[in-house]
Structure 1
Amino acid sequence: MITLQAVNVENFDEIISLSVSDEQREFVACNAESIAQAYVQEECIPLAIYDGPHPVGFVMYCVDRDDGAWWLYRLMVDRAHQGRGCGRAALEQVLTRMKADPARHHIYLGVEPENPAVSLYRSLGFRFDGRVYGREHIMVLDY
């Protein structure tokens, strides 16, 4: 069973030791960098993804301070746990949390079009909205 748990002193080392495959490293920041970002950007919500008692990934989201919209900032599943639905299950839980906010009706994320995660995002209803920032293309989920 996939659950989302706070990143804390007890699981910190395990979470920062998770990593994606070499081919995927260009698509997502390492977890240590993401946790540091959450420390200085207090609006960020960093969470560990667990499969039962085992940490298998990391996700971070927030209401962005620049535009006041929900953004998925990070989603990663450790290379040893990919292909088992962990990322989808975690993302579905995060989306449920965001959608519970009655003040907002869009969720955004930035992704490089070559990232294999694009198919996951599309399958959950995200679409490219035409905006591009650097190498990242913006996807939106309207709800």
Structure 2
Amino acid sequence: MVTLKEITRENFWDCIELAVEKQQADFVTSNAVSIAQSKVQPECIPLAVYDDEVMVGFVMYCIDEDDSEYWIYRMMIDEKFQSKGYGRSALKLLLDRIKSDETRNKIFLGVHKESIAGVRLYESFGFRFDGQVFGKEHIMRLDY
């Protein structure tokens, strides 16, 4: 069963060792940088994606200080576990968690348009490009 769990002293190194395929490396920030970011930006919530007791990926989300909206800052599934439904399961769990906060009604994320699998996954959940671009990331938005 797929679950989202806190990053702890006990699972920190497992999280750091997760990696995407080489051709995807430009699409995601390292988990080490993301965890460091969460220490200086405490609004960021990093979580490990588990299948039972095996860590298979990483996500990080927050209410962004600039616009007071939910953002999914990071999402990655380790190269050994890709194309097995973990990304879809993790995204569903994360969206359910975010949507439980009834004070907001939209979620943003940035994606490289070259990340075809990522774009397709996000679109399948209702995310749509909103025209904003930050660096190489095109912004997608989900209204709920």
| Same-fold status (TM-score > 0.5) | yes
> What CA distance in whole angstroms lies between the structure 1 residues aligned with 2:57 and 2:134?
26
> What CA distance in whole angstroms lies between the structure 1 residues aligned with 2:61 and 2:106?
13
Residue 42 of structure 1 corresponds to: 42
Percent identical pairs in the alignment equals 55
SS at match of 1:129: strand
Residue 97 of structure 1 corresponds to: 97
> Given the alignment of the two structures, is residue 13 of structure 1 paired with residue 16 of structure 2, yes or no?
no
SS at match of 2:68: coil
> What CA distance in whole angstroms lies between the structure 2 residues aligned with 1:126 and 1:34?
23
Q: How large is the RMSD of aligned CA atoms in angstroms? A: 0.6
Q: How many residues in Structure 1 have an aligned counterpart in Structure 2?
A: 143
Unmatched runs of 5 consecutive residues or more in structure 1: none
Give 1:119's aligned amino acid.
R
Per-residue CA deviation, residues 20-61 of structure 1 (Å, 9 max, x unaligned), is: 000000000111011000011000010000011100100000
SS at match of 2:107: strand
Using structure 2 for the length normalisation, give the TM-score.
Answer: 0.98
SS at match of 2:71: strand
Give 1:21's aligned amino acid.
E
Trace 1:110-125 onto structure 2 (pairs within 5 A): 110-115=110-115, 116-125=117-126
4+ residue runs of structure 1 moved beyond 6 angstroms? none
Residue 65 of structure 2 corresponds to: 65
Give 1:91's aligned amino acid.
L
Residue 56 of structure 2 corresponds to: 56
